[in-house]
């Protein structure tokens, strides 16, 4: 009877501890949630407005771990098996919640820092540089935090730790094989880190990769996404930009120059074309007022090649300007120099004509 009464007393104590813990979690959670929400509404605080909603789950996990830790410290659990299970559960919850907290704080810090830079401005070289660095470094830090948290959780279990030690001591050859197999993956990871430091490319850079013209849309840890002009996406490994040659048209500045080729006959007036090009550029908001050149770059037996060199504030604007100049220049040539469009000449010599007349006369004599 005394044993039964003792068990009942323990069960009542555990139930009382459970009720107190649930009530404490609810009250503490709502107080902390309300305080964080108020801080987010204050413009002088660094916390964003939606930070309270994003922190709900890690905050709840953290409070549950604290309550379990208090229960272990007060010896309120029924037996040692419960205490052992709760000890590991505390470690798991604490590691997950703290890792989650750190990732959220990292994102808040990144957003606050990047708010000082605007990539939509004309001279956005510094802004694109900072955006590229933080985009890659954020992925690296999150990857490291997740790996460390998983390692801490696994090392908290003695059975898993012993299995890991035995596997490491008996699988040296397998480890070498796996290392060789993962060589490309590791190289890709290191290439992403090297891109973040050296920055051969930045976000929104105008590049030519594999013969495709596009802009750098996303730089991940192991790959880069290039947005092609026709809205396709070219996904390239990070190692490509370290090991291969590519064209970066906005490496040092966002300004860019473009070319328009025209093919005409030799009798056209190049000076009139230069005057028309200047008139078109001065009347277009797409031109930045820097480069205005028209030159004869080649001459063949059929036509003359002229190259117009124009500049704009960025690559999308330059593309529109080149299309505009090409269309208007062709229209100008058709209206003012219609006979100067490229054409093929055929010259018949008089000797050939006399020979043909002679042949006609001979044939008529034979008929008679």
- Model pLDDT, residue 360: 41
Give the 3-state DSSP-derived string for 151-175, with helices as H, strands as E and coil as C: HHHHHCCHHHHHHHHHHHHHCHHHH
Asked whether residue 243 falls in the same domain as residue 261, the answer is no
The answer to whether residue 221 scores a pLDDT higher than 80 is no
Is the predicted pLDDT of residue 83 greater than 80, yes or no?
A: no
The pLDDT > 70 percentage for the chain reads: 64
218 beta partners: 225
Is 362 inside any structural domain? no
Identify whether 345 is part of a domain: no
The chain-wide mean pLDDT, for the chain, equals 74
Choose the final residue of a domain: 248, 268, 283.
Answer: 248
Q: Residue 101: which region, alpha, beta or left (left: phi > 0; alpha: psi -120 to 50)?
A: alpha
Q: Are residues 213 and 96 in the same domain?
A: no
Give residue 162's domain range. Answer: 2-171
Closest to 236 measured CA to CA, from 256, 265, 261, 212: 212
**Taking the mean position of all CA atoms in its chain, how far away is CA 291?**
31
Mean pLDDT across the stretch 116-123? 68
Q: Residue 295 has what pLDDT?
A: 92
pLDDT tens for 120-159 read 666 666 777 777 777 778 888 888 888 888 877 777 776 6
Q: What percent of the chain has pLDDT over 90?
A: 15
270 DSSP assignment: H
| 166 and 66 share one domain | yes
pLDDT value at 217 more than 60: yes
Mean pLDDT within 165-174:
50
Give residues with Cβ within 8 angstroms of 312, minimum separation 6: 255, 256, 258, 286, 287, 288, 318, 321
The residue among 213, 248, 283 that closes a domain is 248
Please report whether residue 183 resides in a domain.
no
pLDDT tens-digit profile of 9-39? 445 555 555 565 566 666 666 666 666 666 5
Q: What is the pLDDT of residue 34?
A: 64
pLDDT at 361: 46
Residue 160 — pLDDT band, cuts 50, 70, 90?
Answer: low
Quick one: tokens of 63? 């409070």
Instruction: Specify which of 77-91, 330-344, 347-361 reaches the highest per-range mean pLDDT.
Output: 330-344
CATH number at residue 286: 3.30.70.100
Distance (Å) of CA 190 to CA 140, 143, 187, 195, 197: 10, 13, 5, 9, 11
Looking at the structure, do residues 49 and 194 belong to the same domain, yes or no? no
CB 266 within 8 Å of CB 304 = yes
């Amino acid at each position: 009877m005394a044993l039964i009464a003792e068990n009942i007393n323990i069960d009542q104590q555990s139930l009382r501890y459970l009720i107190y813990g649930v009530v404490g979690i609810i009250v503490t959670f709502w107080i902390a949630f309300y305080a964080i929400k108020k801080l987010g509404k204050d413009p002088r605080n660094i916390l964003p407005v939606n930070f309270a909603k994003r922190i709900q789950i890690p905050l709840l996990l953290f409070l549950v771990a604290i309550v379990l830790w208090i229960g272990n410290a007060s010896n309120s659990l029924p037996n040692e098996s419960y205490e052992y299970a709760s000890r590991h559960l505390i470690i798991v919850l604490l590691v997950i919640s703290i890792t989650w907290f750190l990732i959220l704080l990292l994102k808040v810090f990144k957003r606050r820092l990047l708010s000082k830079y605007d990539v939509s401005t004309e001279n956005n070289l510094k802004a694109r540089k900072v955006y590229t660095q933080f985009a890659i470094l954020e992925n690296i830090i999150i990857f490291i935090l997740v790996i460390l948290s998983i390692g801490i959780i696994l090392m908290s279990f003695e059975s898993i730790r012993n299995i890991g030690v035995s596997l490491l001591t008996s699988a040296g050859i397998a480890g070498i094989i796996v290392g060789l197999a993962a060589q490309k993956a590791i190289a890709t990871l290191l290439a992403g880190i090297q891109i973040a430091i050296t920055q051969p490319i930045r976000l929104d850079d105008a590049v030519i990769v594999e013969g495709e013209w596009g802009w750098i849309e996303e730089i991940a840890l192991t790959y880069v996404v290039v947005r092609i002009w026709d809205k396709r996406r070219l996904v390239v490994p990070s190692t490509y930009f370290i090991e291969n040659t590519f064209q970066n048209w906005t490496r040092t500045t966002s300004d860019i120059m473009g070319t328009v080729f025209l093919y005409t006959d030799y009798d056209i007036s190049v000076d009139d074309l230069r005057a028309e090009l200047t008139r078109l550029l001065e009347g277009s908001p797409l031109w930045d007022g820097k480069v205005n050149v028209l030159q004869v770059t080649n001459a063949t037996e059929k036509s003359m090649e002229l190259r117009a060199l124009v500049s704009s504030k960025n690559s999308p604007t330059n593309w529109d300007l080149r299309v505009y100049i090409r269309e208007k220049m062709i229209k100008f040539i058709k209206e003012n120099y219609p006979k100067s469009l490229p054409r093929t000449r055929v010259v018949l010599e008089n000797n050939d004509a006399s020979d043909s007349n002679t042949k006609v006369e001979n044939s008529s004599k034979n008929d008679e």
